[in-house]
Amino acid sequence: MLTKILSISGKPGLYKLVSTGKNLNIVESLTDGKRFPVYITKRVIALSDVSIYTEEGDVPLKTVLAKIKEKEKGEKVQFDSKTPNKELFAYFAEILPEYDKDRVYASDIKKLINWYNILIENKIDFEAEEKEAEETGKEKAEDAEKEGEEENIKESADKKDVSSGASK
């Protein structure tokens, strides 16, 4: 589901992708439900493409969101915009102890918590995407296997036609 949830630079909150066109996307705000066009000149990123810097590399956003959900037991995080930075960093260290303290800023943590609260408020299951991807991957592998078998059958039939045509 995170592939259809977007963050648009210069706009607060999160947006759901409704439709795509040649030069624009139609999005719907998750906070007020209003729809509007977003042109290709705007910087738009899907939440599935976002990751958090750690000492060892990057951690996908969905993993961090799942850890927050586990800690908060599926409830919203009770921070507001005036929460001191020390509290934010302490909270985030509980969620992701190995985060890169030089590259993750308080504003990043505030944005992450805000996104989490919006997703929870709208009952968007960001963990379901993993399950769907696994099932889709299995289905695609099975389909590819069937297509491969069908092509082999067609190729052997074509070879028989060619060899029988040559003998006539």
Whether pLDDT at 96 is above 90:
yes
Decide yes or no: CATH 3.40.640.10 for domain 50-121: no
- Class level of CATH domain 5-47: mainly beta
In the chain, ranges of CATH 2.30.30.730 domains: 5-47
**For residues 35-64, average pLDDT:** 93
More confident residue, 83 or 166: 83
Report pLDDT for 130: 52
Interval 123-157: pLDDT, tens:
888 777 555 544 544 454 455 454 544 444 445 44
Q: What is the pLDDT of residue 165?
A: 52
**Between these two residues, 36 and 168, which has the higher pLDDT value?**
36
Contacts of 75 (CB under 8 A, 6+ apart): 120
Average pLDDT, rounded, for the chain: 81
- 134 exposure class (CB count in 10 Å sphere: 0-12, 13-18, 19+): exposed
* Amino acid 82: pLDDT: 86
Q: Are 59 and 72 in contact (CB under 8 A)?
A: no
User: 37 pLDDT band (50/70/90 cuts)?
Assistant: very high
For residue 81, what pLDDT band results from cuts at 50, 70 and 90? confident
Question: Rounded to an integer, what distance in angstroms lies between the CA atom of residue 112 and that of residue 143?
Answer: 38
Alpha-carbon torsion (107, 36, 20, 134), positive or negative: positive
Chain region(s) in the chain for CATH 1.10.10.1650: 50-121
More confident residue, 135 or 31: 31
Q: Which of 34, 11, 38 is CA-nearest to residue 26? A: 38
Q: What is the CA radius of gyration of the chain?
A: 23
- First-last CA distance in the chain: 59
Task: Compute, in degrees rounded to 10, the torsion defined by CA atoms 155, 156, 157, 159.
Answer: 90
The predicted structure's pLDDT at residue 111: 93
113: number of Cβ within 10 Å: 23
CA separation for the pair 12, 21 (Å, rounded): 23
Residue 31 has pLDDT above 50, yes or no: yes
